[in-house]
Structure 1
Amino acid sequence: MKKHFVTTCIILFCSLTVCAFPLPHRMFIWEGVDGMQTERSVLESFIPQNPNGTAVIVCPGGSYHHLDLNKEGRTTAQWFAQQGVTAFVLQYRTAKDGYHAPAMQQDLQRAIQLVRENANEWNLNPDKIGLIGFSAGGHLVAWAAEHGNDNLLLELHLFPTVKLNANFVIPVYPVVSMQDTIAHKWSRRSLLGLKPTQEEKDAWSLELTVSDSMPPVYLVACKDDPVVQYENSVVFFKALLQKKVDVTFASYEWGGHGFGMADTAFMRAFNWNEALRIWLCSHGFIQGPF
């Protein structure tokens, strides 16, 4: 009787909350990698009750200096889990702890590697792995979408047997450009240091490095953004169009910056996540009415 009671409680718990079995709730992504044992980058998983095989890696913002793990991280992951998407919040390395590029990019590529390598075990479709990022996290995920063929893990003596590309990417009020006119200076300083060269600024300006192999993009920004200039999204959108990338630009008159997936006045006015849900449905990443 006691054993039956415990089993019943476990089943009930999983039905009422996000059930993490058999996927670990928290994974140290560099565990077991020579020379990286002290790194504490983490993937935190959110498993839906009825997974549809799609996965998304969530990259919170924070100027590449710190991370907004709740409003832009866990709240977003919980929303995706409600849509049937297996979500992972990436706690990547930042300048607050002394890291600069390419540490953040290596963290994200390692996360993509782990999710895709374990796709069968975790009941995921390896061809439906997407990225969503906010602010500096938007720069990070868009960079990964542009540079899926550039393996930064090689210098760590890792040789993935899976692709490191994304199948869709959602930059939200993203940092895009490192050029002096529109760069978010704090993010640039955190990413590249105090005095980046013009060559470095060009190399990390996403509007200059769009590739023909970009996956579908859902870009979100507000015209009144007081933190990251709206022009970042405009120049990125134009560059994507020029390369004939499948891109949707959800541009809003107001909403500011940093709203994430939280219940804010902007969310109540525009329901931007519902527009995103419709886009995900139209591209076959989730099921549901349009």
Structure 2
Amino acid sequence: MKKFSLILSFLAIIQIGLAQEFIELPHDKSPTVKWTHTEKQYFSEIWKTEVVTNVSAPTLQVFQPKKPNGTSVIIAPGGALYALSINSEGRDVAKWLAEKGITAFVLKYRLVPTGEDAVQEVSEEGSTNPSRIAERVTPVMPLSVADGLSAVSYVRENARKYKLDPNKIGFMGFSAGGAVTMGVAYNYTENNRPNFLVPVYAWTSAYPVQEAPKNAPKMLVVCATDDPLGLAPGSIEIYNSWAKAGKLPELHMYSKGGHGFGMKEQGLPSDDWIQRFYDWSVAEGITSTLKSE
């Protein structure tokens, strides 16, 4: 039985490609935010997807293609900062990118400390006491953004190790991960500046839109008009702020798609958003279609 389990584990590794490396990122511990439960991964019946909760130490999972083309993307899954939709907005995205020669890093950033079922907690608070969500998210958001910046620093410092171009590092985030993306966009230094940004249905009420930085990275914004959380206007505001600063952002606003579509298949044009990202990255000179040997 033990041998059989080892074989299954090996096959699982093969199926997800070269996603065998996990890195704990440098981070300063918070003097005020404390976690009493350990990090946990489980299938949420409420959200109908695999989630990770109670992240107290940021990590990266590396998805390295066989023939990297030099481009890399750090992926920040969403989940209201209570959880991470680790597959649909994380590992599945990374696998798709790796197939295109793009080295992907799935970021598990620090989350709101919760009990055993974070999804149930945030769902109940959303129905009965929405202001409580903001109260719990506010002290954690700076930690999550710091984790995003630390991830960019790590990838740039280790570009040679992964056969990457240090000037082609992107940051892509979904929902709460989109808020982290914008936090990174407004707080980078020379060493941890991403070269391009992809906020996907970003939670702009958690991290409000500001003026674009003077040396703002290239940006692709993705969202759906029918997002039930009302995130479409915020995505348009992000786009407008970059355009107002004289940048040339791109916006894909799908009429239908809802919220949290990630890599889910709904039989809608929004299913192909990631192909549109790839097309944009090639057109912008971010991604080379010629994979290195």
Contact 2:71 2:103 in 1 (8 A): yes
Contact 1:131 1:141 in 2 (8 A): yes
Structure 2 equivalent of residue 180 of structure 1: none
Structure 1 equivalent of residue 172 of structure 2: 132
Task: Please report how far the alpha carbon of residue 77 of structure 1 lies from its aligned counterpart in structure 2 after TM superposition.
Answer: 0.7
Task: Please report how far the alpha carbon of residue 286 of structure 1 lies from its aligned counterpart in structure 2 after TM superposition.
Answer: 2.1
> d(CA) in 2 for partners of 1:277 and 1:243?
24
Paired letter, 1:279: W
CA RMSD in angstroms comes to: 2.6
Task: Please report how far the alpha carbon of residue 266 of structure 1 lies from its aligned counterpart in structure 2 after TM superposition.
Answer: 2.7
Contact 2:73 2:171 in 1 (8 A): yes
Paired letter, 1:222: A
SS at match of 1:95: coil
Is 1:233 the equivalent of 2:273? no
Structure 1 equivalent of residue 23 of structure 2: 27
> d(CA) in 2 for partners of 1:212 and 1:286?
24
Structure 2 equivalent of residue 3 of structure 1: none
Task: Please report how far the alpha carbon of residue 26 of structure 1 lies from its aligned counterpart in structure 2 after TM superposition.
Answer: 0.7
Is 1:18 the equivalent of 2:17? yes
Task: Please report how far the alpha carbon of residue 229 of structure 1 lies from its aligned counterpart in structure 2 after TM superposition.
Answer: 2.8
> d(CA) in 1 for partners of 2:283 and 2:174?
22
1:265-289 CA-partner distances (Å, limit 9, x unpaired): 235x652222111101111222339
- Structure with greater strand share of residues: 2
SS at match of 1:102: helix
Q: Pick closer, same or farther for the CA change 1:16–1:175 going to 2, 3 Å.
A: closer
Structure 2 equivalent of residue 219 of structure 1: 221
Give 1:77-156 correspondences, 5 Å limit.
77-97=94-114, 100-149=140-189
> d(CA) in 1 for partners of 2:263 and 2:16?
19
1:51-98 CA-partner distances (Å, limit 9, x unpaired): 011111000011122111111011111111111011000000011357
Where does the alignment leave 5 or more consecutive residues of structure 2 unmatched?
1-9, 36-55, 115-135
1:24-63 CA-partner distances (Å, limit 9, x unpaired): 6111113xx7868x95221011011110111110000111
Give 1:247-262 correspondences, 5 Å limit.
247-262=249-264
Contact 2:202 2:231 in 1 (8 A): no
Structure 1 equivalent of residue 211 of structure 2: 209
Is 1:244 the equivalent of 2:269? no
Contact 2:197 2:218 in 1 (8 A): yes
Determine which of 52, 55, 68 is the counterpart of 2:72.
Answer: 55
Is 1:280 the equivalent of 2:265? no
Contact 2:64 2:104 in 1 (8 A): yes
Contact 1:66 1:96 in 2 (8 A): no
Paired letter, 1:120: R
Structure 2 equivalent of residue 164 of structure 1: 192
Contact 2:264 2:271 in 1 (8 A): no
Structure 2 equivalent of residue 66 of structure 1: 83
> d(CA) in 2 for partners of 1:122 and 1:86?
8
Task: Please report how far the alpha carbon of residue 145 of structure 1 lies from its aligned counterpart in structure 2 after TM superposition.
Answer: 2.1
Contact 2:223 2:231 in 1 (8 A): no
Task: Please report how far the alpha carbon of residue 237 of structure 1 lies from its aligned counterpart in structure 2 after TM superposition.
Answer: 1.5
SS at match of 2:90: helix
Task: Please report how far the alpha carbon of residue 113 of structure 1 lies from its aligned counterpart in structure 2 after TM superposition.
Answer: 1.1
TM-score by length of 1: 0.73
Contact 2:23 2:59 in 1 (8 A): yes
1:201-256 CA-partner distances (Å, limit 9, x unpaired): xxx422x2321211110000111100243111122221111111220001111111
Structure 1 equivalent of residue 92 of structure 2: 75
Structure 2 equivalent of residue 191 of structure 1: none
Paired letter, 1:235: E
Paired letter, 2:243: L
Contact 1:135 1:173 in 2 (8 A): yes
Is 1:175 the equivalent of 2:215? no
SS at match of 2:149: helix
TM-score by length of 2: 0.73
Paired letter, 1:78: K
